Amino acid sequence: MKCIQPDYVQRFKCDGKLCRARCCRDWRIVVDDETYEKYCLLGDSEREKILSRLDWIEDEFEDVDVMVLKLREDGVCSFLRKDSLCGLQKKYGEDYLTAICQSFPRVTYKLDDETFEQSMTLTCPLAAELILLSTQPIQFVEVPEVSARAVVGFKHRLARSPEEFIATQLDAIKILQNRRLSLNQRLKNLCAKFSETPLPDVDFDLDGHSEMLVEIFDGTYGAGLSDKDKANLQKNYSSYRDDILRRVRGEFCYVLENYLVNEFFMRCYPSAFSEDDFHNCKIFVTSFRVLELAITLTVIAKVSAGLRVKVSDVTTLIYSVNDTLDHSRGGMDAILEFAKTSSAETFAALMLED
C-alpha cells in the first residue's frame, strides 16, 4: 500500500485549546456504523449516556436518515468539555471517536485497493496555518500507511490509472509552484495544460469579470443583494482590485500559492467534478477568483477603518471562504453553474488574466 500526501500531514497536531475546537461547533457530525457498535457494547449505564446524545436526522444532501451527535443549543457538540477537549476521547480513547472526528482535518481518497491520497482541509484553522504560512513550496511524499478511518472511494471517478492520475496532479502542481511566473500566468498555463484546444486569444474583460464575480458571490452566500448593492460592489471591486491584489500577491504570494496547491491536490483536481479536465479547471480557477473578490472587499474595509492587513487576516479569510463552500448547502452551485454554461471564450475573457 502507498499513500501520497503533502509533507505537512505528518507535522499536524490537533489542539482544541488553540482553535477553541472549531470542528466541534455548528457542523453535523455523523456517527459511522463501526463507532455506533462500539457504543452499544459498553455497559448499560455508559451506553445509555452516550446513546441519549445521538439523534437521527435527514441528510439534506443524500435524502436519507443518518445518525449524528446532538448539538447543544449554542451549536456545540454535547460531548465537548469546557477545556475544549472531547469527553468521549478523554474517557474512552481515540477509538471511540467517530470516523470523521478521528480523521478531521485529514481528507483521504482511495484511488484503488493499494493507492491512497491524503491531505488536509483548510476549514481547520490550525491546519490552515500549517499549510498556508510555509514560505517554502509544499512537498509531496509517499508513506506506507493511512492514518484515518474516514476514507472516500474515488476509483470510479478516475478516467486514468491511479499512477497516471497522481503524475498528472503533480505535474499540474509544478505549474502552480513556478515562482518565476505570476499567479495569473500560472493559472493560465494550468488551463492550457488541460484544454484540448488552444485557449482563446481574448482580452480580459474587467467589467464582465466584476459583474460575474459579484453574481457568484451573491449566490454563494445567499446574500440576496439588490441591483444597487451589486452595482456598488462591482464599482468598488473594479476600482480597487488591481492595486489591492498587486499588494496582496506581492506580500502574501506564498500563501495564495499554498492555497492553490492544497486545493488542487485535496479536492482531487482535475477529477474533482464530473465532465472533463478543462471543465474542472474552470471550477478551480473560478473558485480562486471568488476568494480574490473576498480578499479585495476585506482589504477595502480594513483600509477604510485605518487598519493594516496582516497575514492572519488573509489566512482567516481563506478558511472562512472554504468553510462556506464546503459546508453551506449549495455553496458551490453558482460556481458550478458558471463553469457549466460558460464557453471557453467567455471563461477566458472573464477569469484568465495575464
Span 251-273, pLDDT tens digits: 999 999 999 999 999 999 999 99
Q: What pLDDT does residue 243 have?
A: 93
Query: 19 pLDDT exceeds 80?
Result: no
Contact 268, 258 (CB under 8 A): no
| pLDDT tens string 197-239 | 999 999 999 999 999 999 999 988 877 889 999 999 999 999 9
Give the per-residue pLDDT at 100. Answer: 83
pTM, two decimal places: 0.89
Phi-psi label, residue 130: left if phi above 0, alpha if psi -120 to 50, beta otherwise: alpha
Predicted confidence (pLDDT) per residue in 295-305, tens digit:
999 999 998 89
Q: In the predicted model, is pLDDT for residue 16 greater than 70? A: no
Q: What is the rounded CA–CA span in Å between residue 351 and residue 62?
A: 32
What pLDDT is stored for residue 327 in this prediction? Answer: 65
Task: Give the pLDDT of residue 17.
Answer: 62
Q: Note the pLDDT of residue 215.
A: 93
Q: Taking CA 160 as the corner, what is the angle to CA 154 and CA 161, rounded to the nearest 5 degrees?
A: 80
At 60, the pLDDT band (50, 70, 90 cuts) reads low
Which residues in 298-335 are b (16+ Cβ under 10 Å) and which e? bbbeeeeeeeebeeebbbebbbbbbbbbeeeeebbebb
pLDDT at 274: 87
Q: What is the mean pLDDT of residues 92-104?
A: 85
**pLDDT at site 23:** 74
Mean pLDDT for the stretch of residues 113-133: 91
Among the residue ranges 24-28, 77-81, 124-128, the one predicted with the least confidence is 24-28
Q: Give me the mean pLDDT over the 135-164 stretch.
A: 92
- Residue 22 has a pLDDT of 66
Over range 8-17, report the average pLDDT. Answer: 80
pLDDT score recorded for residue 110: 95
pLDDT value, residue 97: 87
**pLDDT bracket for residue 180 (50, 70, 90):** very high
The percent of residues above 70 in pLDDT, for the chain, comes to 95
Task: Please list, in sequence order, all residues whose beta carbon lies within 8 angstroms of the beta carbon of residue 161, skipping any fewer than 6 positions away.
Answer: none
Whether the per-residue pLDDT at 61 is higher than 60: the answer is no
**Three-state DSSP class for 122?**
coil
What integer pLDDT is reported at residue 86 of this predicted model?
A: 85
Mean pLDDT of 241-248: 93
Highest mean pLDDT pick, 61-75, 104-118, 311-325: 104-118
Is the distance from CB of 96 to CB of 39 less than 8 angstroms?
yes
Phi-psi region of 44 (alpha: psi -120 to 50; beta: other; left: phi over 0): alpha
Q: Which residue has the higher pLDDT, 26 or 40?
A: 40
